[in-house]
């Protein structure tokens, strides 16, 4: 059994307009030391997915169904007390804004020592030694002095390094990183991503990287999920998806990148925009923006507008698309007849 298993996770928000389905049928697993990317645009539900893994969804949101199993324990049925033992200790989180995690009135050292002492029975001196060691691991210049500095005295890149050090503090099994480098400059982003990758490999830590940046995902992760309007629409090994995307949305997303087009030419845009979760189109949520809702013979495919697509296995990937399903079926029939 995998270290982390998510089955049919279903998250809803009770809003005044009614209940909104933020996540539906999310299934994936993460092995020890594996790096998984969750990709999607804003509103796709990728951050909700990250938060729901540790049952951190704030009201009015709630987990309406499904299970998150970590190391044999079902997290979403655990008591708050039991969850606290997992959070921070065995699974830690890194947020986009370091100031969300850092307390502005405590020094870096105090925060790290406090975090250690909350989970382990050790002296302050030992805790400080561990904190120093972690700061050295994230390659912060002059770590000794950083321990006594306050968050506002550090630059954005430095703060994100500290956050990584804090995430590593209790030697977790999994780090969940929610857009960890979005607020940073490209050169700093490259440094931080390289650091995160090295540390995960060194310590055999699993990584769930949530981002909108396909470039980052392709460089860091081994497997990826693509999300659209609260659902996973494609999942599989990162290289295969990047090199040969099957779902029309994934294709569109990759082809829309400026680096995929000839300079000066028109970019391959996806028309329209992501529907709001409270008003999803019928059938496949992507169909109003999809170029493939017609069959090869030009006839419309009714399933696209009427039926929510199921996952089909295509090679090592799983894709939720009627068009792909149809193609696979055709191929199978052809092979049978020949």
Partner 1 sequence: MSTTTNVPPSRWERLRDSYMWYSFKRDRTAQLCLAVFICMVIAAFASPLLAPTNPYDLSQIDIMSSELPPFWIDGADERYALGTDAQGRDLWSIVLYGTRVSLLIGFGAVILQALLGVTFGLMAGYLGGRVDTILMRLADIQLSFSTLMVAIVVGALVKATMGSAFYSQYAVMMLILIIGLAEWPQYARTVRASVLAEKNKEYVDAARVMGLRSKRIMFRHVLPNTMSPIFVISTVQIANAIISEAALSFLGLGMPETHPSLGSLIKSGFDYIQSGSWWITLIPGAVLVVLVLSINLLGDWLRDVMNPRLYKG
Partner 2 sequence: MSAHAEAITDSHNPTPRQNEESADSLLQIRDLKKRFSLSGDFLDQLRFKGGKLVRHQEHVHAINGVNLDIKRGEALCVVGESGCGKSTVARTVMGLLTPTEGEIRYDGNRIDNLSSRQLLPYRKRMQMIFQNPYASLNPRMTIQQTLEEPLRLHHPDWKRPQILDKVEEVMRSVGIDPDWGKRFGHEFSGGQRQRIAIARALAVDPEFIVADEPISALDVSIQAQVLNLLMEAQQERNLTYLFITHDLAVVEHFGTRVAVMYLGTVCEVATTATLFDKPRHPYTQALLSAIPRLKDDRPQHIRLTGEVPTPVNLPSGCVFHGRCPHANARCKQEIPLLQTQDDGTRVACHAVEEGRL
Strands (E), the chain: 4-15, 18-30, 35-39, 61-70, 73-74, 91-94, 174-178, 206-211, 223-228, 231-237, 311-314, 317-320
In this structure, the number of other CB atoms found within 10 A of the CB of residue 198 comes to 13
Nearer to partner 1, 259 or 279 (CB): 279
| Token code pair at residue 251 | 């294709």
Count CA within 13 A, CB hemisphere, residue 10. 8
- Which of 8, 103, 155, 278 binds partner 1 (CB under 8 A)? It is 278
Determine the interface stretch with partner 1 among 45-53, 167-175, 208-216, 268-276 (rule: CB under 8 A): 268-276
3-state secondary structure at position 239? helix
In angstroms, give the least distance from the CB of 273 to partner 1.
8
194 sits near partner 2 (criterion: CB under 8 A): yes
Among 279, 299, 337, 338, binds partner 1 (CB under 8 A): 279
Question: Residue 221 or residue 235: which is nearer to partner 2 going by CB?
Answer: 221
* Residue 16 touches which of partner 1, partner 2, none (Cβ within 5-8 Å per kind): partner 1
Question: Which of 5, 191, 244, 326 contacts partner 2 by CB under 8 A?
Answer: 191
Angle at which helix 186-203 crosses helix 156-168, to 10 degrees, equals 10
Q: Does 59 participate in binding partner 1 (rule CB under 8 A)?
A: no
Residue 279 Cβ vs partner 1, minimum distance, rounded to whole Å? 4
Q: What is the largest CA-CA distance in the chain?
A: 74
- Tell which positions 5-24 bind partner 1, by CB under 8 A: 16
CB nearer to partner 2: give 182 or 305: 182
Question: What is the distance between the alpha carbons of residues 104 and 115, in angstroms, rounded to a whole number?
Answer: 15
Please name which of 74, 66, 60 lies closest in space to residue 23, comparing C-alpha atoms: 66
Pairing type for strands 206-211 and 61-70 reads unpaired
Q: Is 338 in the site for partner 1 (CB under 8 A)?
A: no
Instruction: Please state, in angstroms and rounded to a whole number, the distance separating the CA atoms of residues 298 and 39.
Output: 32
Residue 303 touching partner 2 (CB under 8 A) = no
Least separation in angstroms between residue 93's CB and partner 2 is 22
In eight-state DSSP terms, residue 45 is S
Single residue of 236, 252, 283, 309 touching partner 2 by CB under 8 A: 252
CA angle, 186 then 204 then 161, to 5° = 35
42 binds partner 1 (CB under 8 A): no
Which one of partner 2, partner 1, none interacts with residue 132, CB within 5 to 8 A by kind?
A: none
190 touching partner 2, by CB under 8 A: yes
Does 204 participate in binding partner 1 (rule CB under 8 A)? no
**CA–CA gap between residue 169 and residue 156 (Å, rounded):** 20
CA distance 94 to 50: 10
Contact assessment for residue 39 and residue 217, using Cβ atoms and an 8 Å cutoff: yes
Q: Provide the mask over 100-129, with x wherever binding to partner 1 is found by CB under 8 A and - wherever it is not.
A: ------------------------------
Does 276 interact with partner 1 (rule: CB under 8 A)? yes
Q: Counting contacts by CB under 8 A, is residue 256 touching partner 2?
A: yes
Query: Using CB under 8 A as the criterion, which residues of the chain lie in contact with partner 2 when the complex forms?
Result: 41-42, 141, 155, 157-158, 185-191, 193-194, 212-216, 218-219, 239, 242, 252-254, 256-261, 263-264, 266-271, 273-274
Query: Using CB under 8 A as the criterion, which residues of the chain lie in contact with partner 1 when the complex forms?
Result: 16, 273, 275-276, 278-279
């Amino acid at each position: 059994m995998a270290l982390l298993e998510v089955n049919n996770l279903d998250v809803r928000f009770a809003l005044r307009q009614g209940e909104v389905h933020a996540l539906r049928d999310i299934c994936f697993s993460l092995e020890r030391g594996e790096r998984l990317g969750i990709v999607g645009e804003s509103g796709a539900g990728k951050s909700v997915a990250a938060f729901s893994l540790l049952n951190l969804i704030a009201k009015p949101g709630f987990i309406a169904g499904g299970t998150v199993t970590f190391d044999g324990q079902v997290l979403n049925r655990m008591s708050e007390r039991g969850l606290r033992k997992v959070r921070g200790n065995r699974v830690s989180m890194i947020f986009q804004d370091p100031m969300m995690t850092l307390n502005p009135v405590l020094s870096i050292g105090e925060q790290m020592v406090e975090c250690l002492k909350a989970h382990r029975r050790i002296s302050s001196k030992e805790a400080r030694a561990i904190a120093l060691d972690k700061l050295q691991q994230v390659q912060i210049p002059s770590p000794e002095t950083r321990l006594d500095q306050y968050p506002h005295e550090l630059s954005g890149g430095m703060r994100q390094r500290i956050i990584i050090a804090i995430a590593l503090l209790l030697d977790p099994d999994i780090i969940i990183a929610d857009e960890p480098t979005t607020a940073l400059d490209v050169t700093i982003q490259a440094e931080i991503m390289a650091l995160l990758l090295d540390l995960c490999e060194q310590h055999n830590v699993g990584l769930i990287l949530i981002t909108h940046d396909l470039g980052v995902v392709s460089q860091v992760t081994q497997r990826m999920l693509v999300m659209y309007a609260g659902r996973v629409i494609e999942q599989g090994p990162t290289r295969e998806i990047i090199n040969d995307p099957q779902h029309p949305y994934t294709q569109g997303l990759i082809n829309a990148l400026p680096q995929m087009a000839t300079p000066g030419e028109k970019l391959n845009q996806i028309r329209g925009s992501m529907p709001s979760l409270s008003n999803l189109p019928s059938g496949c949520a992507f169909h109003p923006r999809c170029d493939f809702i017609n069959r090869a013979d030009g006839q419309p495919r009714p399933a696209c507008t009427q039926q929510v697509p199921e996952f089909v296995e295509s090679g090592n990937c799983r894709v939720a698309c009627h068009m792909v399903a149809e193609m696979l079926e055709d191929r199978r029939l052809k092979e049978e007849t020949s």
